[in-house]
Structure 1
Amino acid sequence: MADSLLDLSKFTDEDFKLLDEKVRSAMEYYGIPGVALGIGYGDKEYLAGYGVTNVENPLPVTPDTLFQIGSTTKTMTTTALMRLVEMGKVDLDAPLRRYLPDLTLKDAEAAEKVTVKNVITHTAGWVGDFFADTGMGDDALEKFVQKLAGVEQVTPPGKFWSYNNAAFSVAGRVIEVVTGKPYETSLKELLLTPLGMENSFFFANEVISYRVASGHRRGENGPEVNRKWELPRSSNPAGGICTTVKDQLKYARFHMGDGKASDGTQLLSPETLALMKTPVVPAGSDENMGLSWFSGKVGNVLRVRHGGGTFGQLSAFEMVPDRQFAFALVTNSDVSTGVSGQLYEDVTDWVFEHFLGAKNAPAEVQPIPADALPEYVGNYNALISSINMAISESGELEGEFVYHTNGLFEVDPPPIPGVKFGFLGKDVVLTQSGPFKDVKGQFIRNEEGKIGWFRFGGRMAVRRNS
């Protein structure tokens, strides 16, 4: 790696030509219809679009094309919430019931103890992939919170990190109660409008007059348009934003800056911006979770990131604040098979290595005594998936992934059998095969020292039997 690439001022047209070649090659290899990306470095930026918005009614993807960015929206919800914290209207350490006095959970003790901070750090403890379509009215989030009464509490609040979409719908409802306005209106007033994010929207009737990408899934003869597009309104705080890579770079510069809007208005203090990125809880084996932001090292470079997926669209959002470097990538390909995830990872890894000289060494599995494996055998259940762990004929830990997404996707992904796991250490595993190859998982023990959960893809699956 040329040392000169670590000096952001020395990026050249040749660097971006190589990036274009990498993206186009990955699109062809994985069969991805459309990609847009943006790189912000110092006060400069590089923007590009590739492929088409829709295989049935194709338009060229440009940097102005709208894509759904999914869960990066969570960081925007949290940023708006932190504005209310600085105004003295919200206390992160307060119980949720201070703002939502009627909050009812299946676990009554959890309902009393869960805090605002728990919901924006994925430590609320209830089932995270609970989605409920409560209509398109302004009461959608209020109705959603009421439905949490029937949702299983997987772990006690604040005890473990487990990715939680539903918790951010609750955070959105807190914003509504405090501001007295619908969540979407509040987010625009508190964040999108001050940052000049004029091409960031929530609703289909807002984006219909713009160039907008359709999601795709894998079909027998190539990519097919995914007919599902708009998320339920109750999921907007967790993943509802539709935006451009241009707007995402505006957002990145704000979070890497001094907290001021372009007109000089102080939206957040530098101390609050730093606090949002400060680790609160470990998020798996390699990263930490701050106030909605993931952080971790790539080589010796500290990155802060998010990203997300919706109905056939996937996004990456990466920041390296001490280098004033940001990278946004969006695709309109199927997320349910991991295929677009492979392009996302390939291109992101390439960008970090080429532009920042940052690369992680491959993880190395370790031998484990055969008599230690039976402890991990069992069925691990989450709301939308289950993993059946067994010992293969060759004496390896092997899992079968079964999906039951209850309409979350237009078509549920097929079961994935025979996924082999190697061990990186006690209770930490790495997939060795299948579409999730090289993904880490952790077996989590209860207070008695027995395995109670398996965390994979950020989700805690409860062990049901052995």
Structure 2
Amino acid sequence: MKRLLPIYAAVFIFTAAFGFTPASCAVYFQLEPFVSKDVKKPVERVRIMANKLLEVSKIPGLSIAVSQKGKIVYAEGFGYSDVAKKIPVNPETQFRTASCAKVITITALGKLLQEGKLDLNAVIDKYLPNLPPSYRTITPLQLAGHLSGLPHYADDDKIENRFYNSTEEALKVFSHQKLLSPPGTKYSYSTHGFTVLSALMEKVSGMAFLDYLNKDLLKPLNMKNTGPDLRKHQSYTNLARLYDFKDHQLIEERNPEDVSYKWAGGGLISTPSDLVKLTFAYTNGFLKKETVQQMFKPQHLLSGEIVQIGIGWRISKDIYGRNVIEHAGGMEGARTVVCMFPDQETAISLMVNASWASSIEETAHLFAQLFMDDQEVNKVKDIETEVNTSSTLDGKTVNGTAQLKFKGNIGNLMLADGKHYTIVPLNRTNVYGLISTQGIYYLEMKSVNQQVTAKAIAYGSQLKDSAIDKAPFLQFTFAGSL
């Protein structure tokens, strides 16, 4: 395991290598959104949805990028990267990746895999003989699929808010922990497993993890705004501030965590445009077709049970049953997602500069929907009426009434308990976005015989089938038509 150099030397080299010196950061600063001439039609709807999402959820900033057929067609920021100074988010604003760092790591791992430098099924003792005995029979494949039995964060982790000079130091954060289950017997999400994976990658590449990442992945893919989060050791021109919610009020994180103990699993910064560029590695030949197939193949437990995760990537379906390969992340001051729709040759990434409890995968899917279906947006006449509602929370169903108002093709639904939703028509018949404090959900509204029925569905990730028939969390009806 390579030592990463003393802290000051390391910071100097990293900032130079990754292009993060204060002067060079300004080169990437860009205020204007990017909109390809081929996708102007859905962009107005995207902007309405994004601005309404900020209004309802109170998140400080949001950045979105979309690609189609291997080219970025849309990139825009909304809200603020720095609330106090009113600095707007723009396409070059850098956010914490949170666990989207894992798919950056995995893509670099794929390069080692296709170069024959790594055996996914060999026990890691072959590469890292000094790990605790119980860890030694874990395989790289199990680490990448969260089947290793390694714990996630624990109360007795030895995490210190300081710079970690090496993966060897980072391993000491958790290497005293026992496995939660024997390797291969249970799915158990683990960021610490990716620290082990990065140590393994150092061993087989002969380079420090960040050096390998930069040389063999970020530079070839032109991911100029991606690298280690060194905010505690240097200043940045275009790095978003970090925020959290406390008692429903937005507060800034004044002493953020030093994330050098988990570069590979959650310690990077990036932009949605760079995360979309990452997906190009799976279509432009950077990774061979057979490598991509291997990385997107669902893993299975020793029992034979299939889990909806390949090599790092989560394998799922959207509400329409479309295949989606994705990963989301959340941590102090960040909520992120990157999704690929391989059959539609479309990818999307969303990044937020707040700890936001949200259904970000569904939110991303509905933004992407606007680019994948070339239909006219639903039109709703002006309506003001009382509706009958049925909502489900924690397994309990509550019936009641709500006030629904549509004006100018934007709807507002106010429930009796004070909950508020905004409704935005999408470009598929009877489909709408239900904008809430926790993101945007699929809403279906139909008019039949002067009666409107509506249902909203939340569905998460790692699905084998579409959630279209899943029990809705909210339903409402009213007399009339749309």
TM-score scaled by length of structure 1: 0.67
**What's the CA shift for 1:300?**
2.5
Letter in 2 for 1:162: S
- What's 1:29 paired with? 56
Number of aligned positions between the proteins: 344
- What's 2:475 paired with? none
- How does 1:191-202 map onto structure 2 within 5 Å? 191-202=217-228
273, 295, 303: which is aligned to 2:292?
273
The CA distance in 2 between the partners of 1:302 and 1:152, in whole Å, is: 36
The CA distance in 2 between the partners of 1:38 and 1:287, in whole Å, is: 29
Distance 1:309 1:228, change over 3 A: farther
Distance 1:203 1:166, change over 3 A: same
Flag structure 1 segments of 5+ consecutive residues without an equivalent.
1-8, 261-267, 359-390, 396-433, 443-466
> Given the alignment of the two structures, is residue 316 of structure 1 paired with residue 332 of structure 2, yes or no?
no
Q: 2:361·2:461 contact (CA, 8 Å) conserved in 1?
A: no
Letter in 2 for 1:111: Y
Q: 1:133·1:232 contact (CA, 8 Å) conserved in 2?
A: no
**What's the CA shift for 1:243?**
1.0
**What's the CA shift for 1:132?**
4.1
The CA distance in 2 between the partners of 1:441 and 1:350, in whole Å, is: 14
Q: 1:216·1:224 contact (CA, 8 Å) conserved in 2?
A: yes
> Given the alignment of the two structures, is residue 117 of structure 1 paired with residue 151 of structure 2, yes or no?
no
SS at match of 1:289: coil
The CA distance in 1 between the partners of 2:180 and 2:248, in whole Å, is: 41
> Given the alignment of the two structures, is residue 244 of structure 1 paired with residue 262 of structure 2, yes or no?
no
Flag structure 2 segments of 5+ consecutive residues without an equivalent.
1-35, 375-393, 398-436, 440-456, 463-482
Distance 1:223 1:191, change over 3 A: same
Q: 1:118·1:124 contact (CA, 8 Å) conserved in 2?
A: yes
- How does 1:264-413 map onto structure 2 within 5 Å? 268-281=287-300, 288-298=308-318, 299-335=320-356, 338=357, 341-342=358-359, 344-345=360-361, 347-356=363-372
Identity %: 24
Distance 1:58 1:14, change over 3 A: same
**What's the CA shift for 1:269?**
1.6
Letter in 2 for 1:99: Y
Q: 2:68·2:345 contact (CA, 8 Å) conserved in 1?
A: yes
- How does 1:169-184 map onto structure 2 within 5 Å? 169-184=195-210
Q: 2:314·2:461 contact (CA, 8 Å) conserved in 1?
A: no
**What's the CA shift for 1:137?**
4.3
The CA distance in 1 between the partners of 2:221 and 2:460, in whole Å, is: 36
- How does 1:70-109 map onto structure 2 within 5 Å? 70-104=98-132, 108=133
Further displaced range: 221-230 or 32-41? 221-230
- What's 2:9 paired with? none
Q: Deviations over 1:117-176 (max 9, x none)?
A: 11111001121224543652432x112324544213211101111111110000011112
The CA distance in 1 between the partners of 2:236 and 2:172, in whole Å, is: 35
SS at match of 1:77: helix
Q: 1:52·1:60 contact (CA, 8 Å) conserved in 2?
A: yes
SS at match of 1:52: strand
Distance 1:281 1:213, change over 3 A: farther
The CA distance in 2 between the partners of 1:222 and 1:121, in whole Å, is: 36
The CA distance in 2 between the partners of 1:52 and 1:161, in whole Å, is: 37
The CA distance in 2 between the partners of 1:151 and 1:345, in whole Å, is: 31
Distance 1:87 1:10, change over 3 A: same
> Given the alignment of the two structures, is residue 222 of structure 1 paired with residue 222 of structure 2, yes or no?
no
